[in-house]
Structure 1
Amino acid sequence: MPEKARLRLRPVVLDAGDEIIATVRAEVAEYSLSMDGEFGRRIRLGVSVALDQFLDLLGTDDALPDTAVYFELGRVEHRHGRTMDALQSAYRIGSRVLWRRIAAASDDYELEPDAIFRLAEALFAYIEQLAAASVSGYAYEQSLAAGSRQARQHALVERLCRTPPPEAAEVEALAREVGWPAPRALAALVLPEESLGIVCRRLPPDVAASVVDRLGIVFVPDPEGPGRLDALADALRGTSGVLGPAVGTDQVARTVTRARAAYALHLEGHVPGEGLVRADDHLLALLLHADVTLTADLVAQRLEPLRRMTAAARDRAVSTLTAWLDAHGDIAEAATRLHVHPQTVRYRLARLKEAFAGVLDDPVGRLEVALALRAGGPGLAEG
């Protein structure tokens, strides 16, 4: 642009500041009352710097020397709880007001039509760069807020997992900091650490989740509520998670401990299932593995007769015992399960009763044998 035209254009551009601010206040409802605080100060500074820089950059290929003001405007918008819509509208209004002034005075600086077109193009490209800087600032502030919230949520989840469990007042305080409405009932969901992100994106926003001790932990409010279990099952597509019992916040340790224990057994194959696995559907497995030394002693003691058999005889004895116990002592049903004649079952059972020295005729003894078989069978008896 010729220097003569630039000099004539300068007062037109610089005098547009007050009109831009007045028009923004009149047309953008969010800013009608907000020009006296931090945002108003930054808007006035932004308009002033924008007009000066626009004049300095005209006719050059230089990059924007300073976008910090507009980056900060985006950050302030997020801190005030607004979307970017209002600020984007302000940028459009500013460019419109400025261009209207430039166009009205175009005869005074004697530019060719092609130069006028390039001037308009430069103006709108310039405003787009300012807006882009504000978008970056907004995104940056958003990431800081998300990180802060994530840190607070981690503190909440980690505290709920620790012993001794927190008092109700502490739970309420932690929940309030993260904006989580502390529920009257909740359950702990334990799943692989690497699956936590995708599962949480599928869940309602009222869960609290984080990684604790390299496990994904999700606290699910009101897990027995309408549709909640279906939502959990859907969120666990492609992975598995173990849900503890629903408890009040004063018993949170119970749901965490049970879910973690059942998840460990799930990984070892003792608690089967895919997708959503409920710990309370596997209480016997949890009971048998709660004290492994006690369970090993039970297996060794009650299955001792099996250790004296050959491998083939032991396998046959285990299948016969299991079928008979599962059939509640019904010989015909046990024979059907084994695909043998009932007389064969009677013969085998007589030999087993002899080997077990009357234990199988005692209700408590039968229960202990059944539990020992369920806990580990002859494999543990040999150990």
Structure 2
Amino acid sequence: MCEVTDASRRHPWADVPEEARDRLRPVVLDAGDEIIATVRAEVAEYALSMDGEFGRRIRLGVSVALDQFLDLLGTDEALPDTRVYFELGRVEHRHGRTMDALQSAYRIGSRVLWRRIAASGDDHGLEPDAIFCLAEALFAYIEQLAAASVSGYAYEQSLAAGSRQARQHALVERLCRAPGPEAPELETLARDAGWPVPRSVAALVMAEESLGTACRRMPPDIAASVVDRVGVVFVPDPDGPGRTDALADALRGTSAVLGPTVAPEQVPRTVTRARAAWSLHLDGQLPGEGLVRSEDHLLTLLLHADVTLTADLVAQRLEPLRRMTAAARDRAVTTLTAWLDAHGDVAEAATRLHVHPQTVRYRLARLKEAFAGVLDDPVGRLEVALALRAGSAGGAGGSALAEG
């Protein structure tokens, strides 16, 4: 073990005798070619990669590392410059490799160099304690070079993640605008974002603050971002085997609305539908938590698509009810609703109302008189049924019904 001669020293190479620098220089500087050859032989990723940018940086890194190591011996200085090794880590990430290969190269380099130093035997004239200090200095030095490369790799990784996120946001934001992108534009945006254009897709809308957690639980083939302060996810092949269950599972404890499944060229339709349904969900018009499918609530969406038109329908078709007292109006609404829901079956309507069928007939006779034949017309009955649905849902329709 290296005996520290000065407790105030911060770096292990400070405990190597200063004279070791000149004695070891021929051995150390002559190790560069062997280090590179051994790395190429033992690290498969580098066998054919020494002619490009990475090869140039490796050769520079080896040369600088050997010179710098010698210059540090006998001093208590910090590494003067680790930019070369920081950049090596960045290049590794850009080449799509993990840090494993570069870490192996560092280990091989230290092993080859130490083997050369050990083989030189007594030629350098160092005492055993100095040899131990030299070994400790070498391995601490290599550890710092490797740490600089890890930092460079992490830095490049963060840049790439930010760039991918920006490109994915550009894709999602464009898909949310109408008219939708033409095929060439979509293909370019999708390629830049790393998102294969699917054969079918649906828009999923949720609260902005829920997007991150939900996306971490979803399949990796989604495209997601925040647009206009709302979380938007484009889900490929949402009707595929197990996809709906996977979405529902990912949305545990979170509310989200899924638009209809469409071809990519029809993406504005699924976005518009999902956004409309999300607004209704926030207003309490669409019940339920977790995954809400807009296609299960088309009538509600229809009645809220044009609130002024719906209010006019309610005001026109339910005008007879506005002339009644509040109690009579409530009784008329429940009777009409039960009768329409029972498809005109008086007995079924009476069961739903818990009254005698004769009572229903009496009420219907009065209502048909008040509605002046509208209830005997199929289209008229449909309009009354829609108006009752809109009136019971509140909003403009409910206000029109309540006025009197």
TM-score higher than 0.5 here? Answer: yes
| Alpha-carbon distance between aligned partners in 2 of 1:320 and 1:83, rounded to the nearest angstrom | 71
| Alpha-carbon distance between aligned partners in 1 of 2:196 and 2:91, rounded to the nearest angstrom | 27
| Equivalent residues in 2 for 1:167-182, closer than 5 Å | 167-182=182-197
Alignment of 1:330 onto 2:345? yes
Alignment of 1:263 onto 2:278? yes
| Alpha-carbon distance between aligned partners in 1 of 2:356 and 2:154, rounded to the nearest angstrom | 75
Task: Identify if the C-alpha distance between structure 1 residues 26 and 344 changes in structure 2 by more than 3 Å, giving closer, same or farther.
Answer: same
Contact 1:324 1:334 in 2 (8 A): yes
Match of 2:314 in 1: 299
Match of 1:381 in 2: 401
Match of 1:355 in 2: 370
Alignment of 1:121 onto 2:141? no
| Equivalent residues in 2 for 1:219-234, closer than 5 Å | 219-234=234-249
Mean CA deviation greater in 167-176 or 16-25: 167-176
1:192, distance to aligned residue in structure 2 (A): 1.6
| Alpha-carbon distance between aligned partners in 2 of 1:126 and 1:340, rounded to the nearest angstrom | 93
Alignment of 1:64 onto 2:84? no
Query: SS of 1:216's equivalent?
Result: strand
| Alpha-carbon distance between aligned partners in 2 of 1:63 and 1:347, rounded to the nearest angstrom | 100
Q: For structure 1, which runs of at least 5 residues remain unmatched after alignment? A: none
Match of 1:40 in 2: 55
| Alpha-carbon distance between aligned partners in 2 of 1:256 and 1:3, rounded to the nearest angstrom | 72
Give the RMSD, CA atoms, in angstroms.
Answer: 2.0
1:375, distance to aligned residue in structure 2 (A): 0.9
Match of 2:298 in 1: 283
Contact 1:88 1:131 in 2 (8 A): yes
Query: SS of 1:346's equivalent?
Result: helix
Match of 2:202 in 1: 187
Of 157, 164, 168, the residue aligned with 1:153 is 168
Contact 1:4 1:109 in 2 (8 A): no
Task: Name the aligned partner's letter for residue 310 of structure 2.
Answer: T
Query: SS of 2:19's equivalent?
Result: helix
Query: SS of 1:64's equivalent?
Result: coil
Alignment of 1:16 onto 2:31? yes
Match of 2:331 in 1: 316
1:91, distance to aligned residue in structure 2 (A): 0.4
Query: SS of 2:235's equivalent?
Result: strand
| Alpha-carbon distance between aligned partners in 1 of 2:80 and 2:114, rounded to the nearest angstrom | 22
| Alpha-carbon distance between aligned partners in 2 of 1:106 and 1:338, rounded to the nearest angstrom | 106
| Alpha-carbon distance between aligned partners in 2 of 1:148 and 1:2, rounded to the nearest angstrom | 49
| Alpha-carbon distance between aligned partners in 1 of 2:354 and 2:138, rounded to the nearest angstrom | 89
Query: SS of 1:274's equivalent?
Result: coil
Query: SS of 2:225's equivalent?
Result: strand
| Alpha-carbon distance between aligned partners in 1 of 2:314 and 2:224, rounded to the nearest angstrom | 39
Match of 2:46 in 1: 31
Match of 1:80 in 2: 95
Contact 2:20 2:73 in 1 (8 A): no
Q: Deviations over 1:317-352 (max 9, x none)?
A: 322222222222223322332333434433433333
| Alpha-carbon distance between aligned partners in 2 of 1:62 and 1:322, rounded to the nearest angstrom | 88
Q: Deviations over 1:227-251 (max 9, x none)?
A: 1212221222221222222222222
Mean CA deviation greater in 108-117 or 320-329: 108-117
Q: Deviations over 1:137-164 (max 9, x none)?
A: 1111122222222222222222222122
Task: Name the aligned partner's letter for residue 381 of structure 1.
Answer: L
Contact 1:185 1:248 in 2 (8 A): yes
1:109, distance to aligned residue in structure 2 (A): 4.1
Mean CA deviation greater in 42-51 or 314-323: 314-323
Task: Identify if the C-alpha distance between structure 1 residues 96 and 324 changes in structure 2 by more than 3 Å, giving closer, same or farther.
Answer: same
Match of 2:157 in 1: 142
1:111, distance to aligned residue in structure 2 (A): 4.2
Identity of aligned residues (%): 86
Match of 2:361 in 1: 346
Task: Name the aligned partner's letter for residue 169 of structure 2.
Answer: H
Contact 2:18 2:75 in 1 (8 A): no
Mean CA deviation greater in 348-357 or 83-92: 348-357
Mean CA deviation greater in 249-258 or 100-109: 100-109
1:296, distance to aligned residue in structure 2 (A): 0.3
| Alpha-carbon distance between aligned partners in 2 of 1:214 and 1:14, rounded to the nearest angstrom | 60
| Alpha-carbon distance between aligned partners in 2 of 1:289 and 1:148, rounded to the nearest angstrom | 39
| Equivalent residues in 2 for 1:194-213, closer than 5 Å | 194-213=209-228
Query: SS of 2:298's equivalent?
Result: helix
1:29, distance to aligned residue in structure 2 (A): 1.4
TM-score between both structures, scaled by the size of structure 2: 0.88
Alignment of 1:215 onto 2:242? no
Of 69, 87, 92, the residue aligned with 2:107 is 92
Runs of 4 or more above 6 Å deviation = none
TM-score between both structures, scaled by the size of structure 1: 0.93
Contact 1:191 1:240 in 2 (8 A): yes
1:43, distance to aligned residue in structure 2 (A): 0.8
Q: Deviations over 1:89-118 (max 9, x none)?
A: 100101111122223335344444444333
Query: SS of 2:287's equivalent?
Result: coil
Task: Identify if the C-alpha distance between structure 1 residues 247 and 274 changes in structure 2 by more than 3 Å, giving closer, same or farther.
Answer: same
Match of 2:13 in 1: none
| Alpha-carbon distance between aligned partners in 2 of 1:60 and 1:336, rounded to the nearest angstrom | 98
